[in-house]
Amino acid sequence: MTESEAGTGGRPTLESVAERAGVSRATASRVVNGGAGVRVALREKVERAVAELGYVPNLAARTLVTRRNRAIAVVIAEPEARFFSDPFFAQHLRGISRELAAADNQMVLLLAEDERDHERIGRYLSGGHVDGVLLFSLHRSDPTPETVHRLGLPFVIGGRPGWPGAESDRDLLYVDNDNRGGARLAVQHLRSIGRKRIATITGPLDQTSSIDRLDGYRDLLPDGDDDLIATGDFTADGGIRAMTELLSRRPDLDGVFVASDVMASGAIRVLRAAGRRVPEDVAVVGFDDVESIAAWTEPRLTTVRQEIEEMGRLMTRLLLRRLNDPEASAPSSVIIPTLLVVRESA
Amino acid sequence: MTESEAGTGGRPTLESVAERAGVSRATASRVVNGGAGVRVALREKVERAVAELGYVPNLAARTLVTRRNRAIAVVIAEPEARFFSDPFFAQHLRGISRELAAADNQMVLLLAEDERDHERIGRYLSGGHVDGVLLFSLHRSDPTPETVHRLGLPFVIGGRPGWPGAESDRDLLYVDNDNRGGARLAVQHLRSIGRKRIATITGPLDQTSSIDRLDGYRDLLPDGDDDLIATGDFTADGGIRAMTELLSRRPDLDGVFVASDVMASGAIRVLRAAGRRVPEDVAVVGFDDVESIAAWTEPRLTTVRQEIEEMGRLMTRLLLRRLNDPEASAPSSVIIPTLLVVRESA
DNA sequence: CCGCTTTCTGAGAGCGCTCTCTCGGCGGGG
DNA sequence: CCCCGCCGAGAGAGCGCTCTCAGAAAGCGG
């Protein structure tokens, strides 16, 4: 009877657990959810039934009533090129995954490439399938933050948001690396080894990380020549183009701060092809400390390390905290310090 | 009345849509799910109500009754090192994401690092939150395939499964690159440019991809000397160690087939440090065609390209097909051809 | 114009769970 | 010894949706 009633069609339900334990569904539910206020004898009976039946709660049913999904969405909007070449996202995901796993939450990964994807993602988020959102690499036109905000979904942004007013919006939680400070570290190092004409290759200037790195450069070289600044796009080809340009504009440069390791690898090639020795003639400092690049250029790249995984973890923690006590003292955004890693290129 | 009844507490329900359109919940449901068998006039009324209210179906409720989640899990079990350094997974994820998005399904990403993660993942999968599973880079001891199988969850494996009997299991669906054929391509190329003493650096031999690549090498060099075979681990350091070893064992070697680009980058360094010119003295062919590495070694790496994104897409398509008509003609596993990309290193 | 078949629509049950509300039982104070 | 209060357990409603089933409406030949 017991079996025939419960076992049909597959997974055991709370009902069948209750029946087997000889208690009501309500009591079984209490035990499954921590067991507060249930006498030990009963609790143990229920636990045994759970174990015997291999009961696993049906999340859909639970979600339906609690309105909690135990899942958060990770939205990544990034042009193809970068998503592929950088281990950046893998590290982020790893950090997020670890933190989420610890809290027994799941990660729904949403990648956006075009307009239609953004719509689809908007629709998905409207569906209320996730409790919160982690947003990455926002570009100015990205509609997702707006959507998320409108839906009242708690969210945390990776990287300083760049749109007007973002800075002062206390609701806007973000985690960023200290791009500006890192850039200063880099330039300072170039200076400390005696470089006088220090150029920089920036990332695309519609991203705050690029802007902040450039600002850090300018902090130390406030009256630097604009000829010493070239704009790249975080790709190796971009690094090549920018370095070529710099070299033709200022053949006398003796140091370059490149805003990403990938671009730096391109820049070093150009320098060597042009007969410049690195670091003797031109010293190069990168940014990111992507192991698979920085440790493998020739010469090995001196660069600014950012703790990417840590960033993912922090974002997740911030979000989870917000979820767990919604109106508590709003935590504030976090800037993670960066670190100069000196190798051979400078 | 309409509003006060429906609008309370947030998102509109089917109920409120039905009310606004002046139809029953059942009819509204029909329209939302394609609208088959509903007269045009009514359908349009419902559609208007949906649009006006901004109705989005509650997936939890829907899942509860349909037992369909419109979500699949991607399980990646990979030692830290590789997950970070290879753009491999990013590409896979992108392929999967694209295919899934087209079918309006979601991706739940599960990363496994240790024993506890596997347990957690097992528990999660038991919860019936996903309709199918995509499994990656299985190691022999990985309990997940077993779990998934036991649960009766449809799944597709990335890479040829290596355990005994896997080959003949018709239920076991996998997608793999033609590792063996690719290796043959590489060795053939080395031979065609006149190399006589061709060595190889393999990946860890507990992975089928490594084994298959080694087999491909042996196909063309059936009576090759074992001195010409060194085992690496898919890391740059491993490539360095293996190349060093090969060089000391067989200083006369004039060609190397390295089973991954990352290892190849290490190998090339060793060769050049030892005073060997690449490709003049020793020609090198890699495997993977990871843009950020192969195009950036010096000299640029000749390598075997595998279509990783395509692999992700195919896996997803296979899985979705299986989900959509469960007992239909079982599709069979797929091997994706590889391609030799000739650059400078050989 | 009637009775039959074929569409179309609505009522209602039920997916598995949580949570409120009620009630039974027990201990302690008066 | 009785009554009040409190703790632990059960009954039952209801989350939002789908889907079956039955009944209403519409079409059609005789």
Residue A23 contacts strand D, CB under 7 A: yes
CA of A38 to C1' of C30 (A): 31
pLDDT score recorded for residue B100: 92
pLDDT score recorded for residue B344: 92
Mean of the per-residue pLDDT values of chain A: 87
Orientation angle between helical segments B236-249 and B261-273, nearest 10 degrees: 50
- Residues in chain B closer than 8 A to A85 (CB atoms): 87, 291-292
The secondary structure of residue A327, as a DSSP letter, is T
The whole-angstrom distance between A198's CA and the closest CA on chain B is 25
Residue A65 contacts strand D, CB under 7 A: yes
pLDDT score recorded for residue B35: 78
Judged on CB neighbours under 10 Å (0-12, 13-18, 19+), B168 is exposed
Chain A with chain B: Cβ pairs closer than 8 A: 142
The secondary structure of residue B222, as a DSSP letter, is T
Which bases of chain C come closer than 7 Å to a protein CB? 7-12, 14-20
- CB-CB under 8 Å, B262 with A292: yes
The whole-angstrom distance between B165's CA and the closest CA on chain A is 28
CATH superfamily of A3-66: lambda repressor-like DNA-binding domains (1.10.260.40)
- Domain ranges (residues) in chain B: 3-66, 71-177+309-336, 179-305
Q: What is the pLDDT of residues A55-98, one digit of tens each?
A: 988 888 999 898 888 899 999 887 655 655 667 788 888 899 99
Percent pLDDT > 90 in chain B is 47
AA letter at B99: E
Q: Which residues pair with A198 in a beta bridge?
A: A255
The whole-angstrom distance between A222's CA and the closest CA on chain B is 34
Mean pLDDT of A140-155: 84
Q: Which residue of B has its CA nearest to A80?
A: B94
Tokens coding A140: 């100015």
Domain A179-305 top-level CATH class = alpha beta
- Residues in chain A closer than 8 A to B291 (CB atoms): 84-85
- CB-CB under 8 Å, A295 with B236: yes
- Residues in chain B closer than 8 A to A68 (CB atoms): none
DSSP per-residue codes, B137-197: S--TT--HHHHHHHHT--EEEES---STTGGG-TT-EEEEE-HHHHHHHHHHHHHHTT--S
- Nucleotide with minimal C1' distance from the CA of B41 is C8
Tokens coding B216: 């491909």
pLDDT score recorded for residue B1: 33
Mean of the per-residue pLDDT values of chain B: 87
pLDDT of residue A238 exceeding 60 = yes
Within 8 A by CB and 6+ apart from B257, the residues are B183, B186, B187, B190, B198, B199, B200, B201, B217, B285, B287
Q: Nearest 5°: phi and psi at A125? A: -65, -35
Residue B296 Cα distances to A52, A237, A305, B279, B343, angstroms? 57, 11, 21, 15, 11
Distance CA A213, CA A180 (A): 5
pLDDT score recorded for residue A328: 64
Same fold? A3-66, A71-177+309-336:
no
User: Quick one: which of B279, B243, B282, B280 has its CA closest to B260?
Assistant: B243
More confident residue, A262 or A281: A281
- CB-CB under 8 Å, A61 with B126: no
Distance CA A155, CA A148 (A): 7
Residue B13 contacts strand D, CB under 7 A: yes
- Residues in chain A closer than 8 A to B296 (CB atoms): 236, 265, 269, 293
- CB-CB under 8 Å, B236 with A292: yes
Q: Which of B84, B97, B295 sits opposite A91 (nearest CB)?
A: B84
Residue A64 contacts strand C, CB under 7 A: yes
pLDDT of residue A193 exceeding 90 = yes
The whole-angstrom distance between B85's CA and the closest CA on chain A is 6
- CB-CB under 8 Å, B56 with A61: no
- Residues in chain A closer than 8 A to B269 (CB atoms): 296, 298
- CB-CB under 8 Å, A265 with B296: yes
pLDDT score recorded for residue B85: 61
Distance CA B6, CA B181 (A): 62
More confident residue, A198 or B171: A198
- Nucleotide with minimal C1' distance from the CA of A26 is D10
Distance CA A268, CA A277 (A): 9
Residue A131 Cα distances to B111, B130, B223, B256, angstroms? 20, 18, 61, 52
Residue A270 Cα distances to A94, A226, A236, angstroms? 34, 20, 11
The whole-angstrom distance between A223's CA and the closest CA on chain B is 35
- CB-CB under 8 Å, B87 with A104: no
A147-151, A220-224, B275-279: least confidently modelled range: A147-151
Q: What is the pLDDT along chain B (346 residues), one digit of tens a residue?
A: 333 333 344 688 898 898 888 888 888 998 988 877 788 888 888 899 999 988 888 888 999 898 888 899 999 887 655 655 667 788 888 899 999 988 889 999 999 888 888 888 888 888 788 999 999 877 777 888 888 888 888 999 998 888 777 777 777 889 999 999 999 999 999 999 999 999 999 999 988 999 999 999 999 999 888 999 999 998 888 999 999 999 999 999 999 999 999 899 999 999 999 999 999 999 999 999 987 788 778 889 999 999 989 999 999 999 998 888 766 666 788 999 999 999 999 8
Residues 204-263 of A with CB under 8 A from B: 236, 262
Q: What is the pLDDT of residues A324-346, one digit of tens each?
A: 776 666 678 899 999 999 999 98
Residue B49 contacts strand C, CB under 7 A: no
pLDDT score recorded for residue A7: 37
- Nucleotide with minimal C1' distance from the CA of B26 is C10
The whole-angstrom distance between A299's CA and the closest CA on chain B is 11
pLDDT score recorded for residue A224: 85
User: Quick one: which of A67, A62, A63, A78 has its CA closest to A152?
Assistant: A67
- CB-CB under 8 Å, A87 with B94: no
pLDDT score recorded for residue B84: 59
Q: Which of A54, A69, A90 sits opposite B89 (nearest CB)?
A: A90
Q: What is the pLDDT of residues A99-130, one digit of tens each?
A: 998 888 999 999 988 888 888 888 888 878 89
CATH number of A71-177+309-336: 3.40.50.2300
- Nucleotide with minimal C1' distance from the CA of A11 is C16
Which bases of chain D come closer than 7 Å to a protein CB? 7-20
Q: What is the pLDDT of residues A25-58, one digit of tens each?
A: 889 999 998 877 888 888 898 999 999 998 988 8
- Residues in chain B closer than 8 A to A269 (CB atoms): 296, 298
